[in-house]
Homo-oligomer: A and B are copies of this chain.
């Protein structure tokens, strides 16, 4: 039996002690290590398996952490983490107080730049490279490893366009596997595919036209090619670009064959890759599926309905619309800005556009919402999946700012349904034709109703729903956090009768109803799955003072700090949004 190499490696200093001939064995061990742990603890799989050789080669050739290595997005950085002093704690990946699923500066010197959202690596690495140049550190290299889905995003282009006119020591490595989370799309992807299929990369080379020293494509699983090319590039000054071809999921056959499913497969059998079957028959649906299936139902009745997703057909369940109406559903790639303004352009022609973007990624299109949609009062329907705390993806991915950043925009309607049926009916109501844009926020994960596919009902959007009628104290909630309030209320003594009102519409807030609630109750508790600053509670606070009401008002929501990773229930506990804390607030207010 061969000696185990991985067990001897604490950090890249140890890695460099191996001979080149030993690296394939190390790659094999690293793959197995990742598969063993991810198969049990869950997490992102395919991306890291695809860059095992590249990861080893980078740390073998370059002088990390002195040379600055930036991983774009970071799904692919498990191998990097394991080789850089985190092998022994890798099993805590994505757990509360464990290591993050993404590179993170506060976790390790080797994580030079925190990531999670795509396409930031070129800008960040260029900033580092220019800084080094100014400090006279002329031999330092700065490396951005970016996938073909991420490099097609506008921000990456901006970085390339700037880098091409500098002489900073930037190395951009394109990890080209033709897939992000879903298969890559767009003209650039077609171009890269042509290169892989034998087109001469010297013709119409977009990278060369941006003034980069282009090399490749090379096989990203071939150590000889990788080590030789990286060693050459190490001493090349200025901006340079290496095109590397890899296979997502490399080394685990099923993961290679179904790359979408094995992006983050959940638990599986380490040896075969077989995913453990889950009995999902009697579970309530995921909100994303409520969105996706409802959209198809609506689209069947109205040919003006369009669906748009920036690179999340699977995650948002827009795939159902893409299957049912391929001409009316668009995956535009990682291009949130374009997605929003494309929607606006369609809306000018009378189309009813459902633009589905995760709450956290809509931050990428903030100006387009204001300038292209709301200012022109175009009735685009934004569906904000993954709103609120998202759990294990952590601080980069929580969708907790949307109420605050949307509420200040004139003309916007903001809705947050409490369950699947309400989400469905808000979508239906919006599809009937609004005179202004609307944002509908709903969380990651499952709802609570098996029989959610009820006949559509048109809603009055600013209706307030009294879920429990009591006196003295009123809890005002918006969105699915209503469930936690309901649980808290069941814990109360039977004689403690409090009211619970659900606000499906946050903007415009129903002031008439609020006046009546404030009249009937001395004490008001607001609660939301979003940041307190500028959120639902803050809207109620301003209402209170503007109307010179003297009620006591207490706001529950996410405090003014970034929330780390952990399960949603753990994070709700930390943020004091769990039913116990709501109960405590009710009995002590």
Please list the residues of chain A having a beta carbon within 8 angstroms of any beta carbon in chain B.
105, 112-114, 116-117, 120, 123-128, 130-132, 134-135, 152-165, 185-188, 190-191, 203-206, 208-212, 303, 306, 327-328, 330, 332-333, 335, 337-338, 341-351, 361, 363-364, 366-368, 370-372, 374-376, 395-396, 401, 404-405, 407-411, 531-535, 537-539, 541-542, 544-546, 548, 550, 552-553, 555, 560-562
| A and B contact pairs by CB, cutoff 8 A, 26 listed | A112-B348, A113-B376, A114-B371, A114-B375, A120-B371, A124-B344, A124-B372, A127-B345, A128-B346, A128-B348, A131-B345, A131-B351, A135-B349, A153-B158, A154-B154, A158-B338, A159-B338, A164-B187, A165-B186, A191-B211, A363-B367, A364-B366, A370-B401, A533-B542, A542-B555, A546-B555
Contact of A370 among B338, B363, B374, B376 (CB under 8 A): B363
**Alpha-carbon distance between A457 and B195 when the two chains are bound, in angstroms:** 59
**Alpha-carbon distance between A555 and B351 when the two chains are bound, in angstroms:** 39
Q: Is the CB–CB distance between A187 and B160 below 8 Å?
A: yes
Q: Residues of B contacting A375 with CB < 8 Å? A: 114, 395-396, 562
Q: Residues of B contacting A533 with CB < 8 Å? A: 407-408, 534, 539, 542
Q: Is the CB–CB distance between A346 and B131 below 8 Å?
A: yes
**Alpha-carbon distance between A440 and B218 when the two chains are bound, in angstroms:** 47
Give 10 closest A-B pairs by Cβ, nearest first.
A127-B345, A154-B154, A164-B187, A131-B349, A158-B338, A363-B367, A404-B408, A123-B341, A158-B335, A366-B366
Chain B residue, CB-CB nearest to A195:
B209
Q: Residues of B contacting A363 with CB < 8 Å? A: 366-367, 370-371
> Nearest chain B CB to A100's CB is how many angstroms away?
11
**Alpha-carbon distance between A425 and B43 when the two chains are bound, in angstroms:** 48
Copy tally for this chain in the complex stands at 2
Q: Is the CB–CB distance between A345 and B123 below 8 Å?
A: yes
> Nearest chain B CB to A172's CB is how many angstroms away?
13
Q: Is the CB–CB distance between B162 and A342 below 8 Å?
A: yes
Given contacts A349-B135, A350-B131, A367-B364, contact A154 B158 (CB under 8 A): yes
Given contacts A209-B206, A372-B120, A396-B375, contact A125 B345 (CB under 8 A): yes
**Further contacts, 8 of them, CB under 8 A, given A153-B154, A188-B209, A404-B404:** A112-B348, A127-B349, A128-B346, A190-B211, A204-B208, A206-B210, A366-B405, A404-B534
Contact of A408 among B328, B341, B535 (CB under 8 A): B535
